């Protein structure tokens, strides 16, 4: 399958999966927007008067930007693994490239993220955020979270066929990750020690910081910051590709 045919099959399978998922929903994509909005309202009401968090400018949008990127990561990885496991018939009876089965869920979640980012921009304008040229950096953030999610999804799908319990481990990991990612707090409020180290090595930390600068604050961003934020996702993607390539030949035997 050449590159053009791969993209066409990816488009067709992504479209079909998305339409099938949304078929019995009256509100469709709106549900994806309601989830982070509702969570933002709850987190904002609970934490808005807490110590250092009080000083965060546009705190409600700060939370929303964190949530939509965090949700993108956990939804695309968790659903990729679930969809991969349920694609037994497709894997055993067609010659579809296995990478495509992982990529299609990342694409579906990617579309949702784009709509959510547009919602953030709209709310930002409404709440008095001044958009600046830093906004042009956002596509790099998008590429970064896409690479991070795809890498983690490839890793998960490459192993979940052999270790079904990995789905439960991942679900637990995602819960812990929520508190090790600056979604509703700033990285600076966490004191030194293990949690701080975990925050610093978490690739989402740098990406969220960049996303907030691009979408909300418009501050000056150094090239090194961008490079550092994209380094983590690039490493995770490379690791995911290596694991997936190592296991893909045995997937049909074990699924």
Partner 1 sequence: MAIRLQGVSKIFMRSGRSRRPLYRELLNIRARLARDGGKHVLRDVNLEVPDGSRVGVIGRNGAGKSTLLRVIAGIYEPSAGAVSVDGRVCCFLEPGAGAAPALPVRDNVFLYAALAGLGYRETLQSLPRILDFCSLSDQEYSWVEHLSFGMQQRLFMSIQLEVMRLKRAEVFLFDEFLMGVDKSFRLRVEDALTHYPSERQIVLHASHDHELMLRTCPNAIFIDDAGVRRFGPTADVLDLYRNG
Please state the closest distance from residue 42 (CB atom) to partner 1, in A: 33
Specify the residue, 184 or 244, whose C-beta has the smaller distance to partner 1: 244
Please state the closest distance from residue 159 (CB atom) to partner 1, in A: 12
Return the structure tokens found at 129.
């955020």
Specify the residue, 126 or 254, whose C-beta has the smaller distance to partner 1: 254
Specify the residue, 92 or 172, whose C-beta has the smaller distance to partner 1: 92
Which chain residues interact with partner 1 by CB under 8 A? 1, 4-5, 8-9, 12-13, 15-17, 19-20, 23, 89-96, 162-165, 249-250, 252-254
Determine the straight-line distance between the first and last CA of the chain, rounded to whole angstroms.
Answer: 23
Q: State the Cα angle at 156 between 143 and 244, rounded to 5°.
A: 80
DSSP H or E segment with residue 114 = helix 98-126
Taking the CA of residue 47 as centre, how many other CA atoms within 13 Å lie in the half-sphere pointing to its CB? 19
Please state the closest distance from residue 104 (CB atom) to partner 1, in A: 12
Residues 6 or more apart whose Cβ sits within 8 Å of residue 37:
64, 119
Please state the closest distance from residue 33 (CB atom) to partner 1, in A: 23
Specify the residue, 49 or 89, whose C-beta has the smaller distance to partner 1: 89
Specify the residue, 92 or 131, whose C-beta has the smaller distance to partner 1: 92
Please state the closest distance from residue 110 (CB atom) to partner 1, in A: 20
Q: How far apart are CA 212 and CA 62, in angstroms?
A: 7
Q: How far apart are CA 4 and CA 10, in angstroms?
A: 10
């Amino acid at each position: 399958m050449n590159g053009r045919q791969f993209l066409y099959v990816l488009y067709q399978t992504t479209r079909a999966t998305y339409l099938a998922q949304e078929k019995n929903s009256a509100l469709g994509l709106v549900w994806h927007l309601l989830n982070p909005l509702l969570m933002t309202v709850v987190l904002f009401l609970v934490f808005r008067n807490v110590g250092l968090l009080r000083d965060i400018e546009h705190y409600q949008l700060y939370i929303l930007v964190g949530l939509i990127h965090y949700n993108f990561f956990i939804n695309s990885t968790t659903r990729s693994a679930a969809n991969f496991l349920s694609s037994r018939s497709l894997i055993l009876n067609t010659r579809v490239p296995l990478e495509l089965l992982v990529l299609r869920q990342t694409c579906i979640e990617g579309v949702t993220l784009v709509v959510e980012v547009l919602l953030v921009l709209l709310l930002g304008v409404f709440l008095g955020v001044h958009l600046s040229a830093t906004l042009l950096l956002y596509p790099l953030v998008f590429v970064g979270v896409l690479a991070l999610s795809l890498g983690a999804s490839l890793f998960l799908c490459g192993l979940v066929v052999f270790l079904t319990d990995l789905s439960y481990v991942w679900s637990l990991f995602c819960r812990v990750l929520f508190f090790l990612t600056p979604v509703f707090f700033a990285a600076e409020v966490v004191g030194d020690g293990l949690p701080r180290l975990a925050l610093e090595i978490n690739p989402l930390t740098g990406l969220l910081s960049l996303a907030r600068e691009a979408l909300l604050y418009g501050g000056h961003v150094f090239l090194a910051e961008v490079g550092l934020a994209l380094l983590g996702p690039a490493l995770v993607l490379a690791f995911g590709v290596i694991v997936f390539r190592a296991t893909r030949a045995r997937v049909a035997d074990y699924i």
